[in-house]
Structure 1
Amino acid sequence: MRRSGSTLAHVAKCTVILADINDFAAMNAVYSRYFPAGRLPARTTFAGKKLVLGARVEVECLAVAAD
């Protein structure tokens, strides 16, 4: 993102996978530090089993390149 001149403000959508859906509130608290109200990208969040390397959270973001 940095090489294209983009920032987190250019993120259009995120997909968040939680190993335990009960971690949703904690994930949301951290997520809101990076994406404050007023510039939240679209987001899909769901629970999944056996994330890579035993991770508890996996986040994939799609960003638009800066002009």
Structure 2
Amino acid sequence: MRQVLVTTQAPSSPMFSQGVKAGPFVYISGTAGIDVATGKLAGPTIGEQVRQSLTNCEEVLRAANATLDDVVEVGVLLADPDDFAGMNEEYARWFPIEPPTRYAAKLGAVIPGVLVSIRMTAYVE
């Protein structure tokens, strides 16, 4: 069964679902560091945007009755590969022990001000 996840606590778009739950898996779309309260980027730094992007992913997980502990894979897309260390600094606060698998790559789309997009896959029994 496929269930589209919707929450007002994370950015949305008519172009994609925030997340989809299919069986025991939860797929979270790539999410930028947009603060839904303001509709703007959380800040100009990689740390601020990673923090907000992970917050947004966590809200979509919550809509699926899942948590960060259920995450099995994270994909990180960086506009500037030189932001890798700054991304890691904030990321480590969210997954301090036994982190999920992860990949990082260069963000292909050029979106003014967006430094990072993060997607996740979670497994919930």
Q: Structure 1 length as normaliser, TM-score?
A: 0.81
Matches within 5 A, 1:7-46: 7-37=67-97, 39-46=98-105
- What is the CA-CA distance between 1:55 and the residue it aligns to? 0.9
Structure with the largest fraction of helix: 1
Q: Which position in structure 2 is the counterpart of 1:58?
A: 117
- Higher-Rg structure is 2
- The answer as to 2:65 corresponding to 1:5 is yes
Q: How many residue pairs were aligned?
A: 65
Unmatched 5+ residue regions in structure 1? none
1:5-60 Cα deviation digits (max 9, x unpaired) = 321000000100000000000000111111113x2000010112434454100000
- C-alpha root-mean-square deviation of aligned residues, in Å? 1.7
Unmatched 5+ residue regions in structure 2? 1-60
Q: Structure 2 length as normaliser, TM-score?
A: 0.46
* AA partner of residue 64 (structure 1): Y
- What is the CA-CA distance between 1:63 and the residue it aligns to? 0.8
Partner SS, residue 83 of structure 2: helix
Mapped partners of 1:22, 1:9: distance in 2: 28
Partner SS, residue 32 of structure 1: helix
Partner SS, residue 5 of structure 1: coil
* AA partner of residue 116 (structure 2): V
